[in-house]
Homo-oligomer: A and B are copies of this chain.
Amino acid sequence: MVTVVVMPEPGAPLELRDIDPPALEPGGVLMRTLGSEVCGTDAHLWQGQLAGVPYPIIPGHVSVGRVTALDARAGTPRDVSGAPLAIGQVVTFLDVYGTCGRCWYCTVGHATTRCPERKVYGVTLSADDGLYGGWAEQIHLKPGVHVVPLPEELGWREFLAGGCGMPTALHAVTLADIAFGDTVVVQGAGPVGLCAAVLAQLRGAGRVVVVGGPEVRLRAASRFGADAVIDITRTTADERREQVLELTGGRGADVTIEATGVADAVPEGMRLTRDAGRYVVVGQYTDTGAASFNPHLDLNQKHLDVRGCWGSDAGHLYRAVQVMARYRDRFRWTELISREYSLAEAENALEDVTRQRVVKALVVP
């Protein structure tokens, strides 16, 4: 039997359950979980803020495990670089799977995030159907799941310190199209914001400013190389704008990346950005209501380039793994981890994340 954490429905206490291990189909893989992350999405799931979730679910969408079984009847399952998987290998996988490759969005629109067949481990797969979430002793990778091995030099804790924040931020920073020497403002100091602040330095930004809170997170931002931090708990929007203008010769940020989860941060971010600058919005993952902006001043006259960033794909995950391995001497990823929790403590983890008492929390079965 496999012990798993189950979120029965929004707001209800988490439960531990024992589930039979699955019979593998051809191409299927079973792995023993080394660790799984707790992220804002899990908190949103618990608060019932996401539509279309088939509760009960096993939370945990970014995880690392050791391959314990694989079904090679249709050929040995392969990782995304085409190499065959092996028992004992330490791997992670993309939470999104099942995009069809045939629908309009997959073939013409090149926006697989809108494929109707798209499923997400830990989010849109039910605990009633199997081991499809990371807060569990084992995880069942269905045929076709995108598997990415961790390079030997990258420990699983190091990778999970970034968690889903790293591929998400990598997608956002890629969209942000930072030029060498640009001043980059990151709104938000949670895992996505901190990862974005790091990745901006790995794009050659000239100055990285993190606007967020609370203080524990801003300290992490500074430790991870932010040139300046602005505490939102001690400043007004006008004061923040003043500070950014001062740092940029009165122009504003060349590039701003939003990772806050607060609707009003978006018009504020427009105003932190210089004329003809770029603004990537990645943090509005749930509906927190409307915001007001001035289309003439904030968008048109400013000739701002605004890019909504949603989801990440196997390429983002693969690249995140390579980058974390390559630059692990420069950035000590594990310092992002505040605490580890057993399966039985998963609810505490959720509470700590909800109240922003931690930077990154891991569930370690």
Enumerate chain A interface residues (CB-CB to B < 8 A). Answer: 78, 80-83, 99, 101-105, 107-111, 113-114, 116, 144, 146, 170, 173-174, 179-181, 199, 202-207, 227, 249, 251, 254, 263, 266, 274-276, 281-297, 299-311, 313-315, 318-323, 325-327, 330
Contact = CB atoms under 8 A, between A and B. Distances in A.
25 contacts: A81-B108, A102-B144, A111-B276, A113-B303, A114-B275, A170-B180, A180-B320, A181-B318, A202-B204, A206-B319, A206-B322, A206-B323, A206-B326, A263-B294, A266-B299, A282-B300, A283-B300, A284-B300, A284-B301, A285-B296, A285-B301, A286-B296, A291-B292, A293-B293, A300-B309
**How many identical chains are in the complex?**
4
A71 to B, nearest CB: 15
A237 to B, nearest CB: 15
A108 to B, nearest CB: 5
Nearest to A274: B109
Contacts of A325: 206
Contacts of A275: 105, 111, 113-114
B308 A300 contact: yes
A323 B181 contact: yes
A345 to B, nearest CB: 31
B302 A308 contact: yes
A158 to B, nearest CB: 15
Given A174-B179, A181-B322, A300-B282, A108 B80 contact: yes
Contacts of A313: 107
Contacts of A114: 275-276
Contact of A276 (B103, B109, B174, B284): B109
Contacts of A289: 294
Contacts of A322: 180-181, 206-207
B295 A104 contact: no
Contacts of A227: 326
Contact of A202 (B180, B285, B305, B314): B180
A210 B198 CA distance: 25
A293 B296 contact: no
A303 B180 contact: no
Given A206-B323, A318-B181, A284 B291 contact: no
Contacts of A296: 263, 284-288
A109 to B, nearest CB: 6
A199 B181 CA distance: 11
A181 to B, nearest CB: 3
A288 B301 CA distance: 12
A331 to B, nearest CB: 11
Nearest to A269: B295
